[in-house]
Structure 1
Amino acid sequence: MHSSIAHTAPLSPGTHAYRLAGLVQRYHVHGSGPVCVAHSGGPGIFYEYLRMPALEEHLTMVYVEPIGTAEDSRLPSHPHGYTRERYSRFLEILINRLGVPKVHLLGHSHGAFVAAHHALHRPERLAGVVLYEGSPVTGPEHAAEAGRMVEEFAAEHSGHPGLPGVLAAFDAMSRISSDEEAEAVAKGVLPSYFADFWGDEARYAPLRDAVQATYISGLDEDLAPDVVNDRAALRDLTLPALVIVGRHDVICGVRWGRELHELIPGSRLLILENSGHLGHVEEPALFADAVRSFVLETTAEADGAA
């Protein structure tokens, strides 16, 4: 079913690739220390935006390149069929290949939905999970809250010359049908994903300019939405969990972070007061300290239990 392309140690620094079910699965290893697997968002945003140099000083960061982003990793049903269950199955194979008893899993944005699903259904190789800008639900309730937060953002920045472009990108989001449109929308909405993009544009514009995206529909092979409602299941999650949310996040904001924290027994919650959707970029030291502490403490607990 799958075979290696390169025969290097699975956690050696650099890019790794192997074939699985006819697709190429890539991942990228940086840093040293306990292993933390990071799953990026979108779906369809290239993983590079999620690089976390401050964490790489303390942890072995394994950045997954989710299937669908590269042309040689696309399903026959592309741009459809990229469900949480499918991402989780590919993630299971990747984690098993790493050759360590247990890893931590960090998911950002859509990646947090994937990480929650994986923690609920395939927890055996996980020492803990970090849900970074996630939510227990998608669908109309989530969309309405995001709409409200975008309206607040618009009111706060009314009169700014960049605002019409951001709102136009949000308006175009539901009509994306190509990689080019997906990338244009990702770059267009990005100022609203920061606590104060325009206040420090010189710092953040390079990230916006570097964003790459593939169009992934969010529908399964039968063109039905892959809707999330983890509220009931999360009450039974037994893995250690850290929830991270930015105070100014318009997409998966504090309401959802608090709810995740309340649903998951014994979870920890970090609210980054000066961040939007990208706290690892906006408040990298606070973000890294929280994740590092969580990983080191729960690694020790997992080792003790073993």
Structure 2
Amino acid sequence: MNTPANPDSALREPNGPLSVGARSFEVGGIAQRYHVYGDGPVCVVHSGGPGIFWEYMRMPLLERHLTMVYVEPIGTGGSGRLPSHPHGYTRDRYSRFLAVLTNRLGVEKVHLLGHSHGAFVAAYHALHRAERLAGVVLYGGAPVTGPEHGEEAGRRVQEFAAKYADHPGLADVLAAFGAMSSIADDASTLAVARGVLPSYFADYWGNEERFGPVRDAVRATYVSGLDEDLCPDVIDDRAALKGLDLPTLVVVGRHDVICGPRWSRELHELIHGSRLVVLENSGHLGHIEEPEPFRDAVLDFVTDTL
């Protein structure tokens, strides 16, 4: 594990764009809020969902070596909502806000780390607005959404169900998956997010004392996944990713049921020169389950691509 050098200290002055704490700015009258922790080269983090609040992405071990800039995605928390809310939160929209943020930070290059749906956003940003990027981390992502992705996730959930067939909590997890298609408001979004979460860990019930507080702390807002015209923001990046010319790290948990190793292997094969790290004892939340290996993978990548 390498320790990168610190950024220009002038950028860390009180009330500067990289001063520690919550910061915000406006784009077209919509507030974009973000949170800064740590010191060192800048890593911008985009959380998943869409609609999951940013806090679950806190990575204290990386904050010891990097300036972690956690984006509070528009439509969630203290960031503003689109006039078309809960619709209109496309990857292009998120990417445009990321472009303004990275320009405002005042450093020549940043690394971008996207988790889950945030990995789809990060891939889009790397393909279309990479000018300020030194590298991109696609964590728990995939090159496609739609039926093929859904079928693979369904297969992985069935494997999870077979593994925990005798556990009394399984019925609630499967009920939450069944309720995904009927999500229509903040309350149902939160209920499903917390309901499915045991399946997002390699062994939630064997470590419930450790992971239960993570589940209880999850917050979420209903984001439809449709654009302003109520059309799905369907993703298939396979062709485009073959031309991606940006250092890329792909990270996945061996037991991830939502965006499992199949998809990360495909991302790795599509993106020339990419690195692939598989966390052997993690599900979809490797930065929580295996924080040290996750930290080492990201730090080594950042150091090598500065």
Other-structure match for 2:218 = 211
Q: 1:296 & 1:10 partners in 2: Cα distance?
A: 23
Structure 1 CA distance for aligned equivalents of residues 29 and 243 of structure 2: 35
Q: Which residue of 2 aligns with 1:293?
A: 300
Match of 1:144 in 2: 151
**C-alpha spacing 1:116/1:235, structure 2 compared with 1 (3 Å):** same
Helix, strand or coil for the counterpart of 2:297?
helix
Partner residue in 2 for 1:192: 199
Aligned residues of 2:33 and 2:78 also touching (Cα < 8 A): no
**Which aligned pairs between 1:55-94 and structure 2 lie closer than 5 A?**
55-70=62-77, 73-94=80-101
For residues 246 and 232 of structure 1, the distance between their equivalents in structure 2, rounded to whole angstroms, comes to 25
What is the aligned counterpart of 2:176 among 156, 161, 169? 169
Structure 2 residue 59 is matched with structure 1 residue 52: yes
| 1:245-301 Cα deviation digits (max 9, x unpaired) | 0000000000000000000000000000000000000000000000011001101xx
Residue in 2 that maps onto 1:232:
239
Cα-to-partner distance string for 1:160-219 (whole Å, 9 max, x where unaligned)? 000000000000011100101100100000000000000000000000000000000000
- 1:304 equivalent in structure 2: none
SS in 1 for 2:93: helix
Separation (CA, whole Å) in 1 of partners of 2:215 and 2:80: 24
State the Cα distance separating 1:70 from its structure 2 match: 2.8
Partner of 2:290: 283
State the alpha-carbon separation in 1 of the partners of residues 130 and 44 from structure 2.
13
The answer to whether the 8 A contact 2:23-2:33 is kept is: yes
Q: 1:192 to 1:103 in 2, by over 3 A?
A: same
Deviation >4 Å, runs of 4+? none
Answer yes or no: is the 8 Å Cα contact 2:38–2:63 preserved in 1. Answer: yes
Selected match of 2:167 from 160, 169, 173:
160
In structure 1, stretches of 5+ residues that fail to align are: 1-6, 300-306
Partner of 1:3: none
1:98 maps to: 105
1:127 aligns with 2:111: no
TM-score, normalising length: structure 2:
0.95
Aligned mates of 2:78, 2:30 — CA distance in 1: 9
CA positional deviation for 1:20: 1.4
Tell me what 1:4 maps to: none
Counterpart of 1:120 in structure 2: which amino acid?
L
Aligned-pair CA distance for 1:71: 6.5
- Pairing of 1:248-287 with structure 2 (within 5 A): 248-287=255-294
Deviations 1:68-95, CA, capped at 9 Å, x for gaps: 0136511010000000000000000001
- Partner in structure 1 of residue 49 of structure 2: 42
Whether the aligned pair in 1 keeps the contact of 2:113 and 2:137 (CA below 8 Å) is yes
* CA distance in 2 between partners of 1:159 and 1:246 (Å): 24
SS in 2 for 1:223: coil
* 2:248 aligned residue: 241
Note closer, same or farther for the CA distance 1:247–1:48 as it changes in structure 2 (3 Å cut).
Answer: same
Are the aligned partners of 2:73 and 2:79 in contact in 1 as well (CA < 8 Å)?
no
Aligned amino acid, residue 256 of structure 2: D
State the percentage of identical aligned residues.
72
| CA distance in 2: counterparts of 1:163 and 1:106, whole angstroms | 31
| Aligned counterpart, 1:31 | 38
In angstroms, what is the RMSD of aligned CA positions? 0.8
Structure 2 residue matching 1:79: 3-state secondary structure: coil
How far does the alpha carbon of each residue in 1:221-242 deviate from its partner, in whole angstroms, 9 at most, with x for none?
1111001100000000010000
Deviates more, 1:14-23 or 1:164-173: 14-23
Structure 2 gap segments, 5+ residues each: 1-13
CA deviation map 1:124-153 (0-9, x unaligned): 100000000000000000000000000000
Aligned residue number for residue 8 of structure 1: 15
